[in-house]
Amino acid sequence: MKTVEEDKNQRLLLKLGLVIVGMFGFGFLMVPIYDVFCDVTGLNGKTGTLETSEAREFSIDFDRWVTVEFVAATNQGLAWDFEPTVVRMKVHPGQLNAASYRVSNKTGRVVVGQAIPSVMPGVASKYFKKTECFCFTKQVMQAGETREMPLRFVIEPGLPDSVHTVSLGYTFFDVTNTAKSQAGNNNQGG
Exposed, middle or buried: residue 113 (CB in 10 Å: 0-12, 13-18, 19+)? buried
- Topology of domain 48-177, per CATH? Ctag/Cox11 (Pfam 04442) (2.60.370)
The predicted pLDDT at position 7 comes to 84
What does the buried/exposed string (b/e) look like for 80-106 if buried means 16 or more CB atoms within 10 Å of the residue's CB?
bebebeeeeeebbbbbebebebebebe
pLDDT of 96-143, one tens digit each? 999 999 999 999 999 999 998 889 998 898 899 888 888 878 999 999
pLDDT of 32-67, one tens digit each? 665 555 555 444 445 555 555 565 667 899 999 999
Q: How far apart are CA 178 and CA 1, in angstroms?
A: 55
The predicted pLDDT at position 35 comes to 54
